[in-house]
């Protein structure tokens, strides 16, 4: 077959498709038959809402995407204030892809020379004020659907008189009854109470059985009284009123103090035409969580041991070391211990293939000869992905300590967020180095984790 025939065949197919579309009257251009390129999106700003325990919030600008490229949101078009902190800019706070509320920037503030943040108002999700009932126009008597109304008696039609005895029952004859209703009091044990009973009925009943007209009488039945429930047959004390500044009772566990744990950090997105938020959480059963946590700790152990071997200096020996015996070869190498373990799972691409993130602090045994750094702790951040065969593939393994933060920054996971607006989630980290802290946005690929944005520390 000559090379001209396939070309003619493709051209004929395109002509047939074009003819069918034109015959159907579809207003389509010829360029729509070709493959479309991804249009540039933006501007799309990423920030971090810092919400304190007293409800006060501020926005920390992180990155802004313009024409598919990321820039530092605290420095982009900062003349006189950054573009991401213009007044009345609205950010939507998202926690693992779920909307948490809106933050409206009112004023841009600056601390130091180039550290910007936005002051504004935080409105949690679901806290919008309900509409007033009188917003709808009132209908006339002859308009609208028919309404069923109860016939009023003569006493209801007549206006109330100023005498307190005309509107109160026979047993309430206090002059103050017209100003306020009588307070609800707890009836004594075994005495029925009713607002429509006569004074003789409020007395303590005798041991005789009740009359036939009170077949529903039950000494333990609940009685509604102005918002509280009483049980006849036993006098129950009223529940204590909790004051705002009252100390908790003995034996009551104290509530957690948010100020001690620091403010809450919520990623926020500002984009006029971006996609709707979608959740990125991945639910695990308790047995599955223990299984993958154990596998991640095993990968972290390998990373720590490799880092210790890399950073431990090798001292020259005067004579060659003796060949270890079989007993020494069977001895297990010193293993690190982990604490402050934090384990998270995300479904970033919504493909039911979770990405696991583990951060912990590791410590080598003091008796270990490989621990040349002494009691220096190691900070571990591990990112792995599960494949269809239920195996974990390591995407990133960062092990550092306080002496090597200039070489390998410490990564602290904040949350998963859609930074570029393509519907897939990225990982937002805080990057702690020896010169300060900044933020980084990373994408978890098929084989590795690569950065989309890494901010420079303040002063650089």
The answer to whether 85 and 109 are in contact (CB under 8 A) is no
Q: Mean pLDDT in each 10-residue stretch from start to end of the chain (460 residues)?
A: 55 74 59 46 90 92 95 93 95 95 95 88 82 50 55 52 44 42 45 42 45 48 42 40 41 43 90 90 95 96 92 62 57 85 95 94 75 73 92 94 92 96 95 93 94 82
- Note the pLDDT of residue 41: 64
- Note the pLDDT of residue 365: 87
- Note the pLDDT of residue 9: 67
The per-residue pLDDT of the chain, averaged, comes to: 74
pLDDT tens column, 157-178: 555 544 444 444 444 444 443 4
The answer to whether 70 and 441 are in contact (CB under 8 A) is yes
Cα angle: 178, vertex 183, 188; to 5 degrees:
135
The answer to whether 230 and 222 are in contact (CB under 8 A) is yes
Rounded distance between C-alpha atoms, residue 194 and residue 223, angstroms: 9
Side-chain-side CA neighbours of 188 within 13 Å: the count stands at 5
How would DSSP label each residue in 399-413?
EE-TTSTTTSPEEEE
pTM of the full predicted structure?
Answer: 0.63
DSSP state of 423: S
431 DSSP β-pair partners: 411, 438
Give the pairing type, strands 44-51 and 57-66: antiparallel
DSSP state of 196: T
Chain-centroid distance, C-alpha 386: 24
Residue (of 356, 361, 370, 354) closest to 315 by Cα position: 370
pLDDT tens column, 293-349: 999 999 999 999 999 888 876 656 555 556 655 555 556 778 899 999 999 999 999
The answer to whether 417 and 281 are in contact (CB under 8 A) is no
- Note the pLDDT of residue 192: 41
The answer to whether 400 and 378 are in contact (CB under 8 A) is yes
Rounded distance between C-alpha atoms, residue 202 and residue 205, angstroms: 8
């Amino acid at each position: 077959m000559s090379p001209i025939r396939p070309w003619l065949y493709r051209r004929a197919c395109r002509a047939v498709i074009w003819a069918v579309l034109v015959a159907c009257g579809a207003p389509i251009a010829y360029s729509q038959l070709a493959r479309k390129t991804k249009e540039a999106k933006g501007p799309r700003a990423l920030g971090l809402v810092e919400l304190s325990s007293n409800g006060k919030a501020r926005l920390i600008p992180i990155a802004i995407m313009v024409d598919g490229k990321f820039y530092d949101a605290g420095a982009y078009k900062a003349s006189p204030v950054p573009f991401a902190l213009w007044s009345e800019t609205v950010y939507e706070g998202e926690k693992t892809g779920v909307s948490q509320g809106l933050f409206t920037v009112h004023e841009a503030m600056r601390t130091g020379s180039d550290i910007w943040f936005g002051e504004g108002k935080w409105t949690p999700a679901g806290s919008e004020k309900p509409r007033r009932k009188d917003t709808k126009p009132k209908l006339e008597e002859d308009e609208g659907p028919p309404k069923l109304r109860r016939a009023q008696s003569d006493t209801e039609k007549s206006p109330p008189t100023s005498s307190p005895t005309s509107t109160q029952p026979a047993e309430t004859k206090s002059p103050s009854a017209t100003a306020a209703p009588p307070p609800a009091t707890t009836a004594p044990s075994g005495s029925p109470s009713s607002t429509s009973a006569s004074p003789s009925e409020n007395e303590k009943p005798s041991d005789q059985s009740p009359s036939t007209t009170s077949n529903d009488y039950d000494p333990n039945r609940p009685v509604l009284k102005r918002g509280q429930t009483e049980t006849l047959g036993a006098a129950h004390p009223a529940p204590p009123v909790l004051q705002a500044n009252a100390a908790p009772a003995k034996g009551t566990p104290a509530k957690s103090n948010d100020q001690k744990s620091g403010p809450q950090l919520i990623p926020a997105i500002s984009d006029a035409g971006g996609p709707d938020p979608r959740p990125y959480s991945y639910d695990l059963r308790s047995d599955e969580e223990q299984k993958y946590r154990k596998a991640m700790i095993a990968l972290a152990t390998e990373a720590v041991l490799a880092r210790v071997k890399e950073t431990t200096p090798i001292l020259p020996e005067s004579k060659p070391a003796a060949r270890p015996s079989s007993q020494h070869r069977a001895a297990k190498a010193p293993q690190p211990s982990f604490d402050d373990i934090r384990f998270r799972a995300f479904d970033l691409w919504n493909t039911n293939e979770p990405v696991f993130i583990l951060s912990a602090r590791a410590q080598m045994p003091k008796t270990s000869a490989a621990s040349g750094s002494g009691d220096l702790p190691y900070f571990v951040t591990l990112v792995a992905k599960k494949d269809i065969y239920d195996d974990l593939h390591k995407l990133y393994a960062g092990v550092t300590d306080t002496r090597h933060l200039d070489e390998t920054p410490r990564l602290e996971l904040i949350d998963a967020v859609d930074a570029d607006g393509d519907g897939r989630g990225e990982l937002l980290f805080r990057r702690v180095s020896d010169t300060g802290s900044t933020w980084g946005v990373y994408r978890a690929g098929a084989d590795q984790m690569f950065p989309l944005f890494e901010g420079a520390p303040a002063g650089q």
